[in-house]
Amino acid sequence: MPSTGKRLLDLWKTLSPLPGGQWLFAMIFSRTVPYSGSVGPRIRVLEPGHARVEIPDRRSNRQHLGSVHAIALMNVAEMTSGLAMMAALPEGIRGIVTRISMEYLKKARGTITAVAHVTVPPVTGDIDFDVTADCIDPEGTVVARATVTWRLGPVREKRA
């Protein structure tokens, strides 16, 4: 059975070129990962080691002061790091987030684009690996930066 990342990438490659395909992929992703789907993600790029995801500036993503909520930014940053990471993992390797830190640099307004680039290191046993995801506003300013620590390691046999 193919890895989760390979299945994601195959589905993206099938749907994204089609009219409405990116929207359909985002809907499938949002149903599969409901919390991440809560921010209304629009996956724009998905390839091994690289992802770009947008979230709209809508009321449900804002806090009481009118800017994009800190946790909506963290959500899209973690999601983007995960898509880039999972799409790059070789067969037989799994990853899970063990830590997230976020640096908020400026008020986030407008559609926010999160970008992550990953080069997966060789994995022979469990290792911790940091992935950075930047959240960028419509003017191109980095408004927040996440460091997502992934525990990578070989897939383990399921216990009975």
Does 159 reside within a domain?
no
Does 144 reside within a domain?
yes
**Which domain, by its residues, includes 62?**
4-154
Does 124 reside within a domain?
yes
Q: Residue 130 phi/psi, 5° resolution?
A: -90, 135
Amino acid 68: pLDDT: 81
Three-state secondary structure call for residue 86? helix
Single-letter residue type at 35:
Y
Single-letter residue type at 49:
G
CB 129 within 8 Å of CB 121: yes
Does 138 reside within a domain?
yes
CB 82 within 8 Å of CB 46: no
Name the residue among 133, 122, 63, 116 with its Cα closest to residue 90. 122
Amino acid 159: pLDDT: 67
Does 160 reside within a domain?
no
| Low-confidence stretches of the chain (pLDDT beneath 70) | 1-2, 159-160
Amino acid 87: pLDDT: 92
Does 22 reside within a domain?
yes
Give CA 146 to chain center in angstroms: 11
CA distances from 32 to 23, 24, 37, 91, 145 (A): 14, 12, 8, 21, 25
Number of domains in the chain: 1
CATH number at residue 51: 3.10.129.10
Does 31 reside within a domain?
yes
